[in-house]
Amino acid sequence: MTMTTQRHSDRPASSTTAFHDLTAMTRDEISCLFVRAEQDLEPFVEKARPIVDAVRNDGDAAVIRYAREFDGADLTKTGIVVSDREFADAFDAVDPAMIETLEFAADNIRRFHEAQRPGEMWMKEMSRGVFAGERWTPVDSAAVYVPRGKGSFPSVALMTAIPAVVAKVPQIVLLTPAGSDGKADAATLIAARIAGVELVCKAGGAVAVAAAAFGTASIPRCSRLEGPGSPWVLAAKRLLHGVLTSRVPAGPSDSIVLADETADPRTAALDLLIEAEHGPDSSAFLVTTCRRLAEEAMVEIDSLLGQMNATRAGFARAVLGGTRGGIVFAPSIEKAYGFVNDCAPEHLQILSDSPFDHLSEIRNASEILLGHHAPGSIANYVLGPNAVLPTAGSARNQSPLGVADFMKSASVGYLTERGYTSLAGHTRRFAQYEGFDAHANAVSSLRPAGASRDRL
């Protein structure tokens, strides 16, 4: 479906930022704004299939072959597993001030996720002698994925590894692509160590997903893999659904800045560009009911693009100039809320003097940042909550990555003889109605009475 982008007649003539006026758009045209790059994965699925098969059949040999093909890296020299020497070199290569920042961020992230960790076990007395509860234990093994295609992301290493460590997963491996020198990003290695992860292996994209699913001589087989990635990663996850669990669909970034008339245009422009610079497959909208703010923000965007490096500015222009980004003018605040909830963004910033007044109207967003002083970049790095978030509208039914994603729960029940007696009759009626004789017999007079002493 082709959408005609609506532009306000008074927008700056030199601006390349799209202006989407909801008052002049059909429902179908508005729906086109919600289409995300990763929603059409079929071309990637078909291309990822032979990669997955090769890793399953050839193991390390396939990892090495694809590292050379996709990353230009010769892992026969540097190895798939990051060595102690490479870790030591990383600490020598990174500025001590950056290491201090990684430690600062890790402390906030760790404290947030420790507060989030479910208790080991709880039980509730449902009635006299009848107890039911839940017990939480970590998964046996987990892989966390840190991409490298459009840059280096030690922040992702912290956000993915720390919840797994807090969950007390016995075996954790961090997977990340090698650079052309055959080495992992130095700051990512430091972040892994700060988080508490010892094993780091060099594998990227669909190769990494397949290696975690099947295991190789170097990379252990894992029951879960979490972390953001390209459509190649998402395609491989789809192919391996049922073999490898990965709960959070974390693809290219998408964001909304919701700004009312109290917002500053430059602040709105600054915050809009945060996610727009991730890549041309990202999505970023400024949603407002104030035409003055929209027009002034456009001028600010053009100015701020000139203060970015050419690559990131190019990404942002591509996003903001098309149907996956730009300014959205809503005729009422209710229409603005509707746009946000229909889009279900990964990141939502509410720029307002009274952001909590707007918060109650938001149902669908993975991350909500309130007020004029909470830019998304702070949340991406050091605030504490996890920045690996559901994308492509999956905030409607998914939550951010967290400790519980690296754990599993088991229901627990305990009955005394008195408790058993109070439930047996009701259970027998259910079983007889549904035609299960063994179920019914287990709670009938056939069961020996008083066989053992109750203990709790």
Q: Of all helices (H) and strands (E), which one includes residue 143?
A: strand 141-145
The residues facing 225 across adjacent strands are 143
Query: Is there a contact between 7 and 21 (Cβ–Cβ < 8 Å)?
Result: yes
Measured distance CA(194)–CA(104) in Å, rounded: 10
Q: Of all helices (H) and strands (E), which one includes residue 427?
A: helix 417-434
Query: Is there a contact between 144 and 157 (Cβ–Cβ < 8 Å)?
Result: yes
Mapping DSSP to helix (H, G, I), strand (E, B) and coil, where does residue 28 land?
helix
Measured distance CA(158)–CA(109) in Å, rounded: 8
Measured distance CA(431)–CA(427) in Å, rounded: 6
Measured distance CA(226)–CA(288) in Å, rounded: 34
Angle between helices 186-195 and 96-116 (to 10 degrees): 40
Chain-centre distance of CA 157, in angstroms? Answer: 12
What is the phi/psi pair of residue 94, to 5°? -95, 135
Measured distance CA(229)–CA(311) in Å, rounded: 19
| Per annotation, catalytic residue among 347, 358, 367, 372 | 347
Measured distance CA(436)–CA(428) in Å, rounded: 9
Question: Positive or negative, the Cα torsion across 344, 349, 351, 352?
Answer: positive
- Note the helical H segments in 134-222: 154-166, 186-195, 205-214
Known catalytic residue at 373: no
Known catalytic residue at 20: no
| Per annotation, catalytic residue among 275, 300, 346, 367 | 346
Scored b (16 or more CB within 10 A) or e, 211-237 reads bbbbbbebbbbbbbbbbbbbbbbbbbb
Q: Of all helices (H) and strands (E), which one includes residue 61?
A: helix 60-71
Distance in angstroms between the alpha carbons of the first and the last residue of the chain? 64
Sheet with 224-226, side-by-side order of all strands:
199-202, 171-176, 141-145, 224-226
Neighbour tally for 93: CB within 10 Å: 13
Measured distance CA(168)–CA(164) in Å, rounded: 6
Measured distance CA(39)–CA(256) in Å, rounded: 18
Structure-token match 């990964």, residue found: 346
Length in residues, the chain: 456
Instruction: List residues with catalytic annotation.
Output: 346-347
